[in-house]
A and B are shown apart, each in its own frame.
Chain A
Amino acid sequence: MTYVSALAALADPTRRQVFERLKFGPQPVSVIARGMPVSRPAVSQHLKALKEAGLVADRPEGTRRVYFIDPQGLGELRRWLDQFWDEALAAFQTEVERGASDQESKGK
């Protein structure tokens, strides 16, 4: 799963709401679905999409399954941006230091 699908997964307002409901800690589907405008099976589908996007993980807790926000979520986007900014800043460094030595050699 790429970061593209991870962000696309969050763009759906209902799915976003499901995701937000996990911010206070791990919850079972029954609790997440409480008060939601959509059915519990629909909430399960959203959780599945969030899980596939790498945003949410689950684990068994007793007889039920709880869902929680995956702290490593969007790891791929971060790795990609890591490289993007590394390359940009390296180019900046070369330019600014070249500029500085030009300036010195001109005796300014």
Chain B
Amino acid sequence: MTMAVKIAPVRKTIRVNATQARAFDAFTSGLGRWWPRDHSIGNKPMKAAVMETRLGGRWYELAEDGTQANVGRIIVWEPPQRFVMTWDINSHWKPDTTISSEVEVRFVADGANATRVELEHRKFEQMGAEAGESMRKDVDGGWPRLLELFRTEAA
């Protein structure tokens, strides 16, 4: 039997007193209302975390000076059940599209007015493996601004 190299995911579950639809909306379009300001990955004071609520949409941080720092991109969008996003943050906790892990959040109705929210942060093994290939894509005309940000950060 073959076994892929895999690093155990981080899993979290909480139960909230809200309907599935409300929980999903509050988590996604309402992200800016609750995302802790000190959970910032940008290098400037964060004004709010923003999620573009659609497939391919971004999760980014809006700094007080109006600049943005991308956290990830939505790759599965199934409201109000679940979404999956890339988490383009490197091991120094800075934006870096060359390094992606993945975050899935599921919303499971638990009675009439409660929802179980299951979060899984996984694929950490990609953080080393994909660096080479993604780097090429970026150089080929990907996200130059972000790469610039990373360069500044890494310098």
> Could you tell me the distance in whole angstroms from the C-beta of B89 to the nearest C-beta in chain A?
10
- CB-contact partner of A88 in B7, B36, B125, under 8 A: B36
Interface residues of A in 53-98 (CB under 8 A from B): 69, 73-74, 77-78, 81-82, 84-97
Contact A92 B39 (CB under 8 A): no
Interface residue A36 (Cβ < 8 Å from any Cβ of B): no
A38 is an interface residue with CB less than 8 A from chain B: no
Contact check, B14 vs A99: say whether CB atoms are below 8 A apart: no
Chain A residues with Cβ below 8 Å from B99 are: 7
Task: Tell me, in angstroms, the Cα distance from A73 to B22 when the chains sit together.
Answer: 37
Interface centre among A9, A69, A78, A100, by most B CB within 10 Å? A100
B35 at interface by CB-CB < 8 Å: yes
A16-B91 in contact given A97-B17, A99-B22 (Cβ < 8 Å)? no
A96 B10 Cβ-Cβ under 8 A: no
State which of A4, A11, A22, A89 has its C-beta within 8 Å of the C-beta of B128: A11
Q: Is the CB of A74 within 8 A of B117?
A: no
A59 CB to nearest chain B CB (Å): 19
Interface range, A side:
35 or more
- In the complex, residue of chain B having the shortest beta-carbon distance to the beta carbon of A104: B113
With A10-B128, A74-B124, A81-B121 known as contacts, the answer to whether A95 contacts B5 (CB < 8 A) is no
**Does A23 sit within 8 A of B, measured CB to CB?**
yes
Contact call A89/B7, Cβ cutoff below 8 A: no
The total of interchain contacts (Cβ-Cβ below 8 angstroms) comes to: 96
Interface residues of A (CB under 8 A from B): 3-4, 6-11, 13, 16, 19-20, 22-24, 69, 73-74, 77-78, 81-82, 84-97, 99-100, 103
Q: Which A residues are CB-close (under 8 A) to B3?
A: 23-24
Q: Binary interface profile of B, 126-145, with partner A (CB < 8 Å = 1, else 0)?
A: 01110110000000000000
Is B23 engaged at the interface, CB distance under 8 Å to the other chain?
Answer: yes
Q: Looking at the complex, which one of B8, B22, B129 makes contact with A96 (CB distance below 8 Å)? A: B22
Query: Which residue of the partner chain B has the closest CB to A93?
Result: B16
Return chain B residues, CB-CB under 8 Å to A91.
34-36
A24 to B30, CA, bound (A): 45
Question: Using Cβ atoms and an 8 Å threshold, which residues of chain A touch B129?
Answer: 10, 16
Interchain CB contact under 8 A, B12 and A86: yes
A88 to B5 Cα, complex, angstroms: 29
Contact partners of A78 in chain B: CB under 8 A: 8, 10
Partner of A13, one of B7, B8, B90, B132: B132
- Binary contact track B92-132/A, C-beta < 8 Å → 1, others 0: 10000001000000000000010001010100110111011
